[in-house]
């Protein structure tokens, strides 16, 4: 975009340049006229020359890289040299002689200055005409790019930026008028054009920054779930606004922040669910009622989000929720962007940053704007239920904000939202909607229409299905598909009725029936596919289905496969083949979904028909599946091989790898997750892990630094890599203890060769940024902050130095921290609210570090924290804590005392004389006791 406006910018800069130069000529001629001394008393030559030097500097900056700057700069240099000569003449010890010399110099250069002035005027006129031509030509790069920028804004569901349109319109009018006149005869009009060009370029830059900011909030398939929601045959949902059945309008004027729509288990999650349709309908029609009942004269902004457990990570996370809401808010009202936009938009937003941004947005519009957010499927959030409840309450607590949320009636949601009657139970209102839906589905089938014409009893079938469904839309969807699939011209109404009555009324029983009917010939392969789908962290690309059996039969296939893009034709053929195979082998429990992605290989993914299928298989059928496959079928090993095949099959251009880097890193993270699961089972495949590094290194062969440096780092200055990250460092952060031990044994020099951050520092502070919370890590409370003791011990046993200085960083006092001091800082800064397992891992790490010579004498400098319990620091007041003081505030007193005792004992072993130990022991013990008493009396609040 910037390149397209370069021509216009260059033209404007050259015009400015010539005007500067003309001003300098005028200054020089003024000096020439005053050279006889008649105005020497009024002329401050030093000031004039300094001003000219300043202008020269401005011009070099403004016109850097422009084609017209060469001759103009030469002219300017000539002017400055002339002035310097006049200046030297003016400083002569003999004034009269100096005036004579100045007159001679000025006489010599006078004609040259007048000629230069004419040339500058000619250049200015020529470039001005070119500028007018650019502005009036609709096919010029600048005008096409400006239109493209407006289209981007419109395609993003944003209103065209008024400021950009206004400036563009004024500029075009001025340029069109000026093109019909002589430029030299309309200096005022052209000056206005130049002013508007500068204004436009400035606005284009601002709009570009706005778009970068918006793009940082946007993510793949942001509205995919909304687009998948169908009308489900519902003729109208206006009953939601009827009083007093739903009390929805009462809620608008109440002080309650949240309106809760609850549905019977699984009724809202079918592919044609009226639950999601209701949220979509209310979100679109709500403004009509809200304007009258709640918003009044306020600007009303709405945003929607649909959690989707079968979708991509951002479609079922808090980050996805907040980024989606913010993106829609800013698209709806762009002027907000410049009021809250940070100086540099992050490539990876943290939850804290997103919540702060939401608060800032609401605070900016408290007196002018009201917001309502519609959030569907809280039960589809992938994480702790308490976390999403807390997030909803935090949003609802903001002034001028209301939320309409939906979920299944889980206890946590009932306790949080079932108050003061501002909720509704969906199935109490949707029976007729379900009848309408079933009618539409049955009548859409040609065979059913023929049967119903021959036998009127078939018209009873939709109502019978709706009654037995009892509000569960997924059950209705599955049963309708089942019944329609078995219709033929010879079937009778009694046959269909008996079939319907034989079908289980509960979803779990229905799933059991589907599995029992699978073809025994295909059962083994079906079992493998279902197990892989259960253990997969994300929905797998369709191509992976073909690789499951291949990877099991040939473990080396993933490594031996070449790095070769998988063609789009192969992907489409695979999708066509597996749509049929999945139905035969897995009974439609798995489906192929299409996603919009820049990477064709990842566009088609396989996932369960519904989350209840995964829940059912995991709870009731998983062990049966595992018993039926062979013992050496390790799902995590197969998934690792699949991820490697995916990496090799990506169409990645090494000269433009940045375009696909997000997809590459996402696959790498998933691979590392499965490798970690293998590591916990005591298995390691170093060749497989090494090959991942080799593949991505090949893609990034034109990069200066190792590809791991393309990963985002935690928002903390003490985690900066400065281009020195390595794959070993990433493997340590991923806690691949078996792999690291094997590599350290094979390459002992790896410890010594690592520059900047030592490998031990990565093991002690393993925090890294990932775009997804992996399921087993959530179940194990495997926090990214938890240290892996096996890796720490492996590094220490092989010579890692706990007291090694890390010269990348310096504390607020300018001192260089050590591995040990940064670990203490890490523990102290993140101590608030960590899981007990994390705290225990830190304690065991401290034991190992003390055993290997951790210094008891260092003091760690801390900064005042802006928010308690987080690692986000701000420059300001600092305070210093000793090792003992840090340990006291991180661990329980009895554990802290134990660690300090270990420090004392370890130091004693290093003391060569009993006298030296005795003195040190008593001083340390006395100080320790004083610190403990002080800590108990007055604990640090920060």
DSSP helix/strand/coil, 605: strand
Task: Kindly report, residue by residue over 665-683, the tens digit of the pLDDT.
Answer: 989 999 999 999 999 989 9
Look at residue 532 in the predicted model and tell me its pLDDT.
93
- The closest alpha carbon to 431, from 474, 463, 457, 408, belongs to 463
pLDDT band per the 50, 70, 90 thresholds, residue 143: low
> Is residue 827 domain-resident?
yes
Look at residue 292 in the predicted model and tell me its pLDDT.
59
Task: Kindly report, residue by residue over 224-252, the tens digit of the pLDDT.
Answer: 555 455 444 444 566 677 656 777 778 87
pLDDT band per the 50, 70, 90 thresholds, residue 127: low
- Look up residue 573 and give its two tokens: 């053929």
Does residue 301 register a pLDDT over 80?
A: yes
Task: Kindly report, residue by residue over 372-387, the tens digit of the pLDDT.
Answer: 898 988 988 888 899 9
- The closest alpha carbon to 593, from 276, 227, 279, belongs to 227
- CA separation for the pair 726, 706 (Å, rounded): 6
Contact 644, 617 (CB under 8 A): no
Phi-psi region of 410 (alpha: psi -120 to 50; beta: other; left: phi over 0): beta
Look at residue 376 in the predicted model and tell me its pLDDT.
87
> Is residue 629 domain-resident?
no
Task: Kindly report, residue by residue over 181-229, the tens digit of the pLDDT.
Answer: 554 544 555 566 666 666 666 766 777 788 788 888 887 666 555 545 5
- CA separation for the pair 192, 917 (Å, rounded): 84
Q: Strand 604-608 and strand 540-541: pairing?
A: antiparallel
Look at residue 391 in the predicted model and tell me its pLDDT.
94
Same domain, 466 and 414: no
Q: Which residues sit opposite 262 in a β-bridge?
A: 407, 425
Q: Which residues sit opposite 879 in a β-bridge?
A: 862
Task: Kindly report, residue by residue over 552-597, the tens digit of the pLDDT.
Answer: 788 888 899 999 998 888 888 999 899 888 888 888 789 888 877 7
- CA separation for the pair 261, 279 (Å, rounded): 9
Same domain, 250 and 326: yes
Same domain, 272 and 368: yes
Least trusted range by pLDDT, from 129-138, 621-630, 834-843: 129-138
- The closest alpha carbon to 707, from 660, 646, 762, 758, belongs to 660
Q: What secondary structure does DSSP assign to 267-328, as a single string?
A: TT-STT-HHHHHHHHHHHHHHHHHIIIIITTSEEEEEEEE--TTS-GGGGSHHHHHHHHHHH
Same domain, 409 and 494: no
Burial of 351 (0-12, 13-18, 19+ CB in 10 A): middle
Q: Where residue 302 sits, what CATH number does that domain have? A: 3.40.50.300
- CA separation for the pair 225, 175 (Å, rounded): 46
**Roughly what angle, to the nearest 10 degrees, separates helices 893-910 and 836-851?**
10
Same domain, 54 and 154: yes
Q: Strand 423-425 and strand 258-262: pairing?
A: parallel
Number of helices (H) and strands (E), helices first, in the chain?
A: 41, 10
Contact 818, 855 (CB under 8 A): yes
Helix (H) or strand (E) holding 126: helix 95-136
Backbone angles phi, psi at 381, to 5 degrees: -65, 130
- DSSP letter at 805 equals B
Q: Which residues contact 327 (CB under 8 A, 6 or more apart)?
A: 214, 217, 218, 222
- The closest alpha carbon to 622, from 742, 504, 527, belongs to 527
Q: Which residues contact 98 (CB under 8 A, 6 or more apart)?
A: 89, 90, 91, 92
pLDDT, mean of residues 151-175: 55
Q: Which residues sit opposite 876 in a β-bridge?
A: none
Same domain, 171 and 320: no
Look at residue 651 in the predicted model and tell me its pLDDT.
82
Same domain, 91 and 146: yes
Least trusted range by pLDDT, from 204-213, 404-413, 471-480, 925-934: 925-934
pLDDT band per the 50, 70, 90 thresholds, residue 357: very high
Give the rounded distance of the alpha carbon of 104 from its chain centre: 70
Same domain, 156 and 284: no
Q: Strand 604-608 and strand 590-594: pairing?
A: antiparallel
The Cα-based distances of 331 to 214, 314, 370 in angstroms read 8, 19, 15
> Is residue 620 domain-resident?
no
Whether omega before 383 lies within 30 degrees of 0, making that bond cis, reads no
Q: Write out the E strands in 547-657.
A: 590-594, 604-608
Does residue 26 register a pLDDT over 70?
A: no
Q: Show the domain range for 163.
A: 1-215
Task: Kindly report, residue by residue over 834-873, the tens digit of the pLDDT.
Answer: 788 889 999 999 999 999 988 887 777 776 543 333 333 3
Same domain, 269 and 156: no
- Look up residue 236 and give its two tokens: 């109208």
Question: Which among 485, 503, 521 is the end of a domain?
Answer: 503
Same domain, 441 and 301: no
DSSP helix/strand/coil, 612: helix
- CA separation for the pair 104, 36 (Å, rounded): 10
Contact 658, 567 (CB under 8 A): no
> Is residue 816 domain-resident?
yes
Task: Kindly report, residue by residue over 81-98, the tens digit of the pLDDT.
Answer: 655 655 555 555 545 455
Task: Kindly report, residue by residue over 405-438, the tens digit of the pLDDT.
Answer: 988 888 899 989 887 678 888 777 777 778 888 9
Contact 422, 259 (CB under 8 A): yes
Does residue 641 register a pLDDT over 90?
A: yes
> Is residue 713 domain-resident?
no
Question: Which among 215, 240, 263 is the end of a domain?
Answer: 215
Of the chain, the percentage scoring pLDDT greater than 70 comes to 65
Question: Which among 185, 215, 245 is the end of a domain?
Answer: 215
pLDDT band per the 50, 70, 90 thresholds, residue 879: confident
| pTM attached to this predicted model | 0.64
> Is residue 825 domain-resident?
yes
Number of independent structural domains in the chain: 4
Task: Kindly report, residue by residue over 506-555, the tens digit of the pLDDT.
Answer: 888 888 888 888 888 888 888 999 999 999 988 899 999 888 878 778 88
Give the rounded distance of the alpha carbon of 348 from its chain centre: 4
Same domain, 399 and 444: no
pLDDT, mean of residues 165-189: 55
Q: Which residues sit opposite 860 in a β-bridge?
A: 881
Same domain, 62 and 209: yes
> Is residue 240 domain-resident?
yes
> Is residue 1 domain-resident?
yes
Contact 451, 497 (CB under 8 A): no
């Amino acid at each position: 975009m910037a390149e397209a406006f370069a021509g216009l910018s260059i033209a404007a800069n050259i015009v400015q340049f010539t005007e500067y130069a003309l001003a300098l000529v005028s200054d020089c001629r003024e000096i020439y006229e005053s050279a006889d001394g008649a105005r020497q008393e009024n002329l401050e030559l030093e000031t004039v020359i300094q001003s000219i030097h300043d202008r020269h500097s401005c011009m070099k900056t403004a016109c850097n890289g422009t084609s017209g700057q060469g001759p103009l700069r030469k002219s300017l240099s000539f002017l400055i040299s002339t002035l310097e000569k006049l200046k030297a003449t003016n400083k002569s010890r003999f004034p009269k002689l100096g005036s004579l010399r100045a007159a001679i110099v000025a006489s010599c250069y006078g004609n040259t200055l007048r000629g230069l002035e004419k040339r500058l005027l000619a250049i200015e006129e020529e470039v001005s005409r070119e500028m007018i031509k650019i502005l009036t030509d609709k096919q010029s790069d600048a005008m096409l790019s400006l239109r493209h920028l407006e289209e981007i804004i419109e395609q993003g569901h944003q209103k065209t930026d008024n400021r950009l349109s206004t400036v563009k319109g004024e500029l075009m009018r001025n340029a069109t008028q000026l093109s019909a006149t002589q430029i030299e005869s309309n200096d005022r009009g052209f000056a206005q054009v130049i002013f508007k060009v500068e204004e436009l370029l400035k606005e284009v830059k601002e709009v570009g920054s706005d778009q970068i900011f918006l793009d940082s909030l946007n993510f793949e398939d942001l509205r995919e779930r909304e687009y998948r929601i169908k009308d489900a045959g519902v003729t109208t949902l206006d009953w939601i606004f009827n009083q007093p059945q739903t009390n929805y309008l009462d809620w608008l004027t109440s002080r309650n922040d949240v309106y809760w729509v609850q549905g019977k288990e699984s009724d809202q999650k079918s592919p044609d669910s009226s639950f999601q349709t209701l949220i979509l309908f209310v979100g679109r029609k709500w403004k009509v009622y809200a304007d009258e009942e709640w918003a009044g004269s306020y600007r009303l902004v709405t945003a929607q989000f649909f959690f989707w457990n079968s979708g991509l990570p951002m479609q079922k996370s808090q980050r996805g929720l907040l980024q989606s809401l913010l993106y829609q808010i800013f698209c709806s009202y762009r002027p907000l962007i410049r009021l809250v936009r940070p100086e540099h938009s992050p490539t990876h937003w943290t939850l804290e940053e997103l919540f702060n941004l939401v608060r800032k947005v609401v605070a900016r519009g408290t007196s002018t704007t009201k917001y309502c957010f519609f959030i569907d499927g809280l039960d589809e959030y992938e994480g702790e239920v308490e976390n999403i409840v807390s997030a909803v309450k935090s949003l609802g607590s903001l002034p001028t904000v209301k939320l309409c949320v939906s979920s299944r009636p889980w206890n946590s949601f009932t306790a949080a939202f079932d108050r003061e009657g501002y909720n509704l139970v969906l199935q109490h209102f949707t029976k007729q909607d379900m009848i309408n839906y079933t009618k539409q589905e049955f009548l859409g089938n040609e065979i059913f229409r023929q049967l119903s014409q021959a036998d009127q009893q078939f018209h009873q079938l939709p109502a019978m299905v709706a009654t037995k469904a009892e509000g569960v839309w997924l059950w209705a969807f599955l049963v309708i598909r089942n019944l329609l699939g078995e219709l033929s011209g010879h079937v009778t109404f009694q046959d269909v009725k008996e079939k319907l009555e034989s079908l289980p009324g509960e979803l779990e029983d229905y799933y059991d029936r589907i599995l029992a009917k699978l073809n025994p010939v295909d059962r083994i392969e079906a079992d493998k596919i279902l197990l892989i789908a259960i253990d997969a962290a994300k929905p797998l690309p369709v191509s992976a289905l073909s690789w499951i059996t291949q990877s099991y039969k040939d473990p080396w296939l993933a490594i031996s496969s070449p790095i070769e893009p998988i063609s789009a034709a192969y992907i489409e053929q695979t999708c066509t083949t597996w749509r049929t195979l999945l139905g035969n082998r897995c009974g439609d429990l798995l489906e192929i979904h299409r996603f919009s992605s820049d990477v064709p290989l990842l566009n088609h993914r396989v996932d369960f028909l519904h989350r209840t299928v995964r829940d059912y298989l995991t709870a009731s059928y998983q062990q049966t599946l595992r018993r039926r496959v062979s013992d050496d079928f390790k799902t995590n090993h197969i998934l690792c091989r699949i991820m490697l095949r995916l990496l090799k099959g990506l169409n990645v251009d090494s000269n433009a790898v940045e375009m696909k880097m997000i997809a590459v890193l996402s696959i790498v993270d998933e691979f590392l997750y499965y490798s970690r699961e293998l590591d916990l089972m005591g298995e390691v495949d170093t060749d497989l892990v090494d090959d991942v590094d080799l593949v991505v290194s090949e893609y990034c062969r034109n990069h200066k630094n190792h590809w791991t440096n393309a990963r985002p780092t935690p928002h903390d200055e003490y985690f900066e890599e400065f281009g020195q990250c390595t794959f070993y460092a990433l493997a340590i952060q991923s806690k691949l203890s078996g792999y690291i031990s094997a590599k350290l044994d094979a390459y002992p020099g790896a410890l010594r060769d690592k520059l900047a951050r030592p490998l031990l520092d990565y093991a002690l502070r393993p925090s890294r940024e990932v775009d997804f919370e992996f399921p087993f890590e959530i179940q194990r409370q495997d926090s990214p902050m938890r240290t892996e003791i096996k890796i720490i011990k492996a590094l220490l046993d092989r010579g890692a130095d706990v007291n090694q200085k890390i010269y990348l960083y310096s504390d607020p006092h300018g001192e260089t921290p050590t591995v040990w001091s940064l670990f203490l800082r890490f523990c102290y800064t993140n101590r608030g609210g960590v899981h007990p397992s994390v705290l225990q891992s830190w304690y065991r790490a401290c034991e190992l570090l003390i055993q290997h010579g951790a210094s008891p004498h260092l003091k760690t400098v801390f900064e005042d924290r802006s928010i308690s319990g987080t690692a986000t620091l701000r420059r300001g007041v600092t305070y210093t804590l000793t090792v003992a003081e840090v340990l006291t505030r991180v661990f329980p007193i009895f554990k802290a005392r134990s660690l300090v005792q270990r420090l004392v004992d370890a130091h004693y072993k290093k003391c060569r004389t009993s006298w030296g130990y005795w003195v040190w022991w008593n001083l340390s013990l006395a100080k320790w006791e004083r610190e403990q008493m002080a800590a108990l009396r007055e604990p640090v609040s920060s």
